[in-house]
Amino acid sequence: MGHPKDCIELLERYEKAHPRYHSVEKLHFTGVGRRDVYNITAPFCDENRLVIAGRVETRKSEDSIVVFFEKRDRQWQRIHHLPVLPLQDPFVTRIGGHLILGGVKIHKIGTMQRIWRMAFYSGKTLRSLNLFFEGPKGMKDVRLKQLSDGRILVLTRPQLGKGGRGKIGYCVLDTMDQLSNRKLIEAPIFMDQFTKGEWGGANDIHILKNGLIGVIGHIAEFDGKGCRHYYSMLFTLDLKTGRHTPLEIIATRKDFLNGPAKRSDLKDVVFSGGAIRTHSGLILYAGTSDTEAQRLVMDDPFLKYES
């Protein structure tokens, strides 16, 4: 086990080996009034249309919902007949022919205390989504991916104790019936990814051509003034050995277009949503400064791990 690299060292490496970016643009959403849409998924297909799920909330609140949008001309319009889910930070995958949508569910206790956990919905289409599982209290950023042999990879993110502010763990299930809070809590953790005081999580999983698992996520830190700094990162995982490559920052807030921030301590925040690999590069969909959604096209950083 190596020693984790802190954000300062990872940023230095990122500056030296800066990815080549091709384009960047903000995504525009309609049908939600004056509320912000951010921390989106990558586009996915549902009933023969291209859809994005996004976190929607007012600028002065974190009481969010997840809403679905379809592309019309140069805007993403709300699909009003689809369900609205009481979640934050959605992700989407497909397992066994079913669409799986997950997100962070917030439980309020009194006026101040909040407890979060992951909630997972399943259905043949978005119209038929039903809640089927809720994860352990205090665990965000749980991600699922069906492997080529039919098993399911689960990436976890415990906090407190060994998890600190948030570390990544993993387990592999034979079937979805094995998904349980116990499995998520007991999943082994990568102890060499984040230094003390820093944290991160997985956001999107890709199966590479050579069988390695490519993970896109985020790494974060506080500065001396209490401001948050979030960066997009990736690593690869070899399920045969359990070994992973070192974290690599692939995008920072300055790589995206300027825009407003929800609060002054959230200006330097990029939250990876999802990504699409194409023959011309990787398209990263992300939330910026907790107010907007943007897409960044870059040289595919996974290619070197497939060679």
Phi, psi angle pair for 127, to nearest 5°: -70, -20
Q: The tokens of 190 are what?
A: 């990568």
Stretches in the chain below the pLDDT threshold 50: none
Q: How far apart are CA 166 and CA 175, in angstroms?
A: 26
pLDDT confidence of residue 114: 82
Q: The tokens of 164 are what?
A: 């600190």
Closest CA to 214 of 235, 244, 239: 235
pLDDT confidence of residue 278: 96
The 10s digit of each residue's pLDDT in 225-258 is 999 999 999 999 999 999 999 999 999 999 999 9
pLDDT confidence of residue 104: 97
The domains found in the chain, sorted by start residue, are 7-306 (2.115.10.20)
pLDDT confidence of residue 19: 79
Q: Are the CB atoms for 166 and 197 separated by under 8 Å?
A: no
pLDDT confidence of residue 2: 65
| Sequential DSSP letters for 271-305 | EEEEEEEETTEEEEEEEETTTEEEEEEE--TTHHH
pLDDT confidence of residue 111: 67
| Measured distance between the N- and C-terminal CA atoms of the chain, rounded to whole angstroms | 24
Q: Tell me the residue type at 155.
A: L
The 10s digit of each residue's pLDDT in 49-76 is 999 999 999 999 989 999 999 999 889 9
User: At a CB cut-off of 8 Å and minimum separation 6, what does 121 contact?
Assistant: 85, 100, 101, 102, 129, 130, 131, 132
